[in-house]
Each structure stands twice: as structure tokens, then as C-alpha cells.
Amino acid sequence: MGNDIFEITVNSVKLIVVFLLMVQAVPILVWLERRGSAFIQNRFGPNRVGPLGLLQLLADAVKFITKEDFAPDKAIRKLFYAAPVFALIPATLAYAAIPMSLPFIVPAFEMFGSSWGPYKFLVQGYEIGVGIVFILGVSSLAAYTILMAGWGSGSKFSLLGALRASAQVISYELALGLSIVGVILLYGTFSLSDMILAQQGPLQFVAFGYTVTSAVSWIPNWGIFYQPVGFVLFFAAAFAESNRLPFDLAEGEAELVAGFHTEYGGFKMLMFFIGEYGHMMIASGLATTFFFGGYGIPGITPAELQQVILSWGFSEAAAGGLNSLIHFLSYNVKFAIFLWIFIQVRWTLPRFRYDQLMDLGWKTMLPWALANTVVTAIAIYVVTL
């Protein structure tokens, strides 16, 4: 985590901040979802507590924490209580591996009578060379927490909901995993940071020995222009992975009451919520990274932006920090757009039937993802030959 005490401390605090960032985003997303759904359905939504109903979240949290903690007699108590705690872990571990901005460079300085640095802090929890494989592997551990909750509750509805959810998650994992093969073929790397570096600058690629560059400089070199089918498959599979409508068969209330969290209430329920929204955030962050240039800004590369900021009269270090901050905002704008798409889709599309869901995953999306991979491989082979 670092070479000296300062670096280790900063990196540890950074990890906690990433986790809290995720936990903090959940109430805001819940507010956005309730408010947005209200406007979509021509209602008002929460607008009584605080300005625009923003303090509704605090009121909800107080309500949650004053609820009686309760486990049914037939529950397996260890599993029942461990499941919500474990639900937080996969989402956070995966989210911490997504780069959110340029590295933050701290020049050498004097403190406590000794010299420290220089340091380079990544604006992400940790950098992993095999980023994609790690994120896919860790985030699929969420199926275990669902099964733990379903089995531990001891209820028939929970068990059926958990089985449905896990069958759905693993089925769509095939399409999700296969839609990323095209991305790996395109960039030739597993590392998310390298992918973002490859997407900087204007649209440019090498074909038959010629370098093709877009005439206008503001069209970015994003993955969406090379992998449109891959993007659609990835995003659709991400909906199923995070158990969101139109794929939320796990909690089809007309059939299963509330699915795997039927027996949960209060803070335990809230922790499952954080896990679910965490998966939405991972999907949005990955879609941004793979297909929309990560933290990159269209029309200007980080190095050019650095020059612009330096011309405003900032010092080298301050300009680097400001540059990092601007790219962080750019990442968050894209990230927020994807999260809004998640919410809008939920309140627009009706739910699938279970056999339709499985058919879509196995018989439609898996062959399309396979075809996308084959076409990408052949195109790369023909074009670079």
C-alpha cells in the first residue's frame, strides 16, 4: 500500500473514502430515483422533508435504525446476519478498482523535520493489472450473498427468490463476460487505466497501414465507436447483473413478495440496498471506462489541459491537482448519466417473464456477444495485416 507511513496512511484513508463515497451515493440515488419516478409518473414524490425532499434520506435512516432488529425462528442466524454484511464487500472491492481521475502528484515536502515524497496517488482504491478479471470475479461473488440471504432466512419465498436471482446473475454473466472480450481485443490490455489512455485524443486508428484521423478534433477516440454492439450487450447484461428492472425477477412482488430479502428489515435491508446500488455504480463506471473514455474530456487531452491551466498562472503542483479535479468531474458527469439511464429504464419498461428472461440471456445475448467477438477478431486481423 505504500513505501512509508505517509503513503500508507493516505492510501488507507483513500480506501475508506471510496467506500464512504459509495455508501453516500446511495441515499442520493434513492432520492433521485423516487423523485425521478414521481415526475415520470406525473406525481410529486418526496417533497416535504427539507428542501426538495432532500432530507427524506436522513428521516429514512433514522426510521431504519430505530426499527426492532428481528430474525425469524426458522432462520439460520449466522447466515441471516452475515449476508447483509457480505453484500457490501463485493460491490466496494470492485468499485475501488475503477480509475476515477488522473493520478494526483504530491511533490517532495518537509514535515516533522524529515523530507517526504514525492508521491503519486491514484484517484481510485487500488490499481490492479488484471483489472477486468478482478472486477468480474469479485462482483460475481454477490451471487453468494444472495444465496446466503435466501437460505439463511429459512423462508420459501426467500429461497425461491435467491435461486431465481442467482440463476439470472450467472446466466447474464456469460453475455457480460463475452461482450468484454471484444473490448479486450480492441485495447489489448486488462488494465482499466491503459484502456483510458488508449481512448484519449481525437478518433484515430490504423487501417491497412494508413493512419485514419477524424477531421474534427472534438470527436473522441472512444470505444463506443468501435464496439457499439458490445456496449449494448454489456449494458443490458449489467441491468440483469444488478437485478434491476426490467430484469428484477428476483423480487417480482406479485409472485415472491420481496424475493431474497423478504425476511429482512431495518438496517439489514438497507445494506442489501447499498449492495444493489453498488452494482449499478460498478456497471456505470465500467461502461464509462470501456466505451466512453473514462475520465477523459472530449477534444482535449490531459497534457493539453495541463498546459492550459499552467497558462493561468498556477504552479506545477497546483495545476496537476486542478487538472485531476477537472477530470474527476468529467468522470462523474458520465457516471451520473449512466446512473440516470438505469433509473429511467426502471420506470419505463415493464418486467420480463422468467422464461423470457432466460431465453433472452442464453439464446439472444450470448450468440450476439459471440458474433461480436468473432467479427471484432476478424476485423482486427484484416485491418492490421
Partner 1 sequence: MPLGGIIFLTIFIAIFGTFLIFLARAIGGQRKDNSAVKRDIYECGIPSQDKKESRISVKFYLTAILFILFDIEIIFMYPWALSFRDFIANGAGTPVLISMGIFVAIFVYGLWWEVKSRALEWD
Is 149 an interacting residue with respect to partner 1 (CB under 8 A)? no
∠ CA 83-87-88 to the nearest 5 degrees?
Answer: 130
Is 9 an interacting residue with respect to partner 1 (CB under 8 A)? no
* Minimum CB distance to partner 1 smaller for 347 or for 351: 351
C-alpha distances in angstroms, 79 versus 87, 148, 154, 272? 12, 6, 10, 14
Is 358 an interacting residue with respect to partner 1 (CB under 8 A)? yes
* Minimum CB distance to partner 1 smaller for 316 or for 359: 359
Query: Shortest gap between Cβ of 8 and partner 1 (angstroms)?
Result: 8
How many C-beta neighbours within 10 Å does residue 172 have? 26
Amino acid making up residue 230: G
| Dist CA 256 CA 162 (whole Å) | 10
| Dist CA 195 CA 161 (whole Å) | 37
Query: Shortest gap between Cβ of 89 and partner 1 (angstroms)?
Result: 5
Count interface residues toward partner 1 (CB under 8 A): 83
> Quick one: which of 155, 193, 288, 323 contacts partner 1 (CB under 8 A)?
155
Q: Which residues have C-beta within 8 Å of that of residue 139, sequence separation ≥ 6?
A: 90, 91, 94, 241, 279, 282
Say if CB 87 and CB 145 are below 8 A apart. Answer: yes
How many CA atoms lie less than 13 Å away from 165 in the CB half-sphere?
32
Task: Identify which range of 109-117, 211-219, 307-315, 350-358 contacts partner 1 by CB under 8 A.
Answer: 350-358
> Quick one: which of 6, 10, 15, 322 contacts partner 1 (CB under 8 A)?
15
Name beta bridge partners: 129: none
Name which of residues 275 to 334 contact partner 1 (CB under 8 A): none
| Dist CA 75 CA 83 (whole Å) | 12
Name beta bridge partners: 213: 204
* Minimum CB distance to partner 1 smaller for 95 or for 342: 95
Name which of residues 222 to 281 contact partner 1 (CB under 8 A): 257, 262-263, 266-268, 271
Assigned C-alpha cell, 362: 442464453
* Minimum CB distance to partner 1 smaller for 206 or for 212: 206
DSSP for 234-262, written as a single string = HHHHHHHHTT-TTS-GGG-HHHHTTGGGT
* Minimum CB distance to partner 1 smaller for 20 or for 52: 20
Is 170 an interacting residue with respect to partner 1 (CB under 8 A)? yes
The alpha-carbon radius of gyration of the chain (Å, integer) is 23
> Quick one: which of 167, 224, 317, 325 contacts partner 1 (CB under 8 A)?
167
Query: Shortest gap between Cβ of 119 and partner 1 (angstroms)?
Result: 15
Query: Shortest gap between Cβ of 316 and partner 1 (angstroms)?
Result: 28
Task: Identify which range of 163-171, 207-215, 227-235, 303-311 contacts partner 1 by CB under 8 A.
Answer: 163-171
* Minimum CB distance to partner 1 smaller for 148 or for 297: 148
| Dist CA 345 CA 280 (whole Å) | 12
Q: What are phi and psi of 105, to 5 degrees?
A: -100, 125
* Minimum CB distance to partner 1 smaller for 3 or for 42: 3
Say if CB 88 and CB 278 are below 8 A apart. Answer: yes
Name which of residues 174 to 233 contact partner 1 (CB under 8 A): 174, 177-178, 181-182, 184-185, 188-190
Query: Shortest gap between Cβ of 159 and partner 1 (angstroms)?
Result: 4
> Nearest CA to 179 among 94, 243, 237, 239?
237
Query: Shortest gap between Cβ of 293 and partner 1 (angstroms)?
Result: 20
Name which of residues 48 to 107 contact partner 1 (CB under 8 A): 64-69, 72-75, 81, 84-86, 88-89, 92-93, 96-97
> Quick one: which of 53, 99, 154, 302 contacts partner 1 (CB under 8 A)?
154
> Quick one: which of 297, 366, 368, 372 contacts partner 1 (CB under 8 A)?
366
Q: Which residues have C-beta within 8 Å of that of residue 3, sequence separation ≥ 6?
A: none
* Minimum CB distance to partner 1 smaller for 11 or for 37: 11
Say if CB 247 and CB 240 are below 8 A apart. Answer: yes
> Quick one: which of 6, 11, 197, 328 contacts partner 1 (CB under 8 A)?
11
